[in-house]
Copies of this chain bind each other. A is one copy, B any other.
Amino acid sequence: MTSTKITNVGILNVTGYVGAETARLLYNHPYVRIVGVTGRSMAGKRLPEVFPHLFALDLPVTETLPEGCDIVFSALPHAAAAETLAPIIQAGIPVVDGSADFRLQDVPVYEATYKTTHPAPALVAQSVFGLPELHRDAIRITKLAAGPGCHSTGVILALAPLFAAGLIEHSVIADTKTGLSGAGRAFALPVHFSEADENVSPYGLDGHRHVPEMLQELTFVRGRKTEPVTVTFTPHYIPMTRGILSTCYADALVGVSIDRVEIMQMYRDFYADAPFVRVSDAPPSTKAVAGTNFCVVHPSVNLQTGKIVVTSALDNLGKGAAGAMVQCMNLMRGYDEDAGLRTLGLFP
């Protein structure tokens, strides 16, 4: 039986887009009361001054959270997150972290990827990768869920059934197209309107930080084998605010043949119990899931070449960030997995 008890929530770093989206979602959550929101440079302001769309959430932005939080959401950047969360975790307060700090179980990989010393390596072992589609039971009982990266979610959900079934080669390609809210509210030329508008460009060609978590999770679903999983990952900036479309390419193992009907059925089976993954007959589009926690996955096979092509669409701030975090909280607090997350896409 699901809980309906009220949870008092604190949000760390509400002043970025992930923090604000977390607040927006929790405002409408039937069992949540937001009791505090923090933000460094904006401390002292009211939340609606920082984000007018949150006018009804008239809370002060403070430097630290008040006492009495039943759970803490963090939208702090990596390193700052672990540093700020460590005492909270040690005090036994459940945490949902949106940063990379607790996603990677391998601390040296984390440190090489983020070029920093992990501020709380001893806590990593307690964390669960916050993708309920792979770790639902573990999330239910954890006190530290680590929300996945936005690209990672789209790519992992697109490829997990194939790796789980042991049908594909270890080396895959992931080509993602992302809206620019993924780059956050901080200023930079690639997200300056006049530069980004009417423009598409690849980035991260020297390596993107989400790759290690893709490898960790795809390896998790596949199991360890001789050949390690590799992902050739190329993200692209797209002139829109929200959404990630992931196009993933995989080769069936030698001797394996899979057609479109079979792959569709395999995906439907794999995600039968996942309320937020929709396996679709039609190619996905990001706009259909704008503002939601849904990920639409469309597995297919190229009819000319036999290559497996799986496309997925999600809202990078929804299922790609804040939505997934709320979904984790629902599991951690015993609520319906979709409590507060039933909104349909804002289309058109």
Contact = CB atoms under 8 A, between A and B. Distances in A.
Interface of A: 17, 20, 24, 27-28, 51-57, 171, 173, 175, 177, 179-181, 183, 185, 187-188, 191-203, 205-207, 211, 230-232, 234, 236, 238-243, 245, 247, 249, 278, 280, 282-291, 296, 300, 302-305, 307, 309, 311, 313, 342-348
B203 A238 contact: no
Contact of A24 (B17, B249, B302, B344): B344
What copy number does this chain have within its complex?
A: 4
A199 B240 contact: yes
Contacts of A201: 245, 283-286, 313
Given A181-B348, A236-B177, A344-B24, A205 B309 contact: yes
A144 to B, nearest CB: 28
A245 B54 CA distance: 19
B193 A192 contact: yes
B200 A177 contact: yes
A195 B287 contact: yes
B302 A232 contact: yes
Contacts of A236: 177, 245, 247
Contacts of A195: 185, 287, 348
A149 to B, nearest CB: 16
A198 B288 contact: no
A122 B40 CA distance: 48
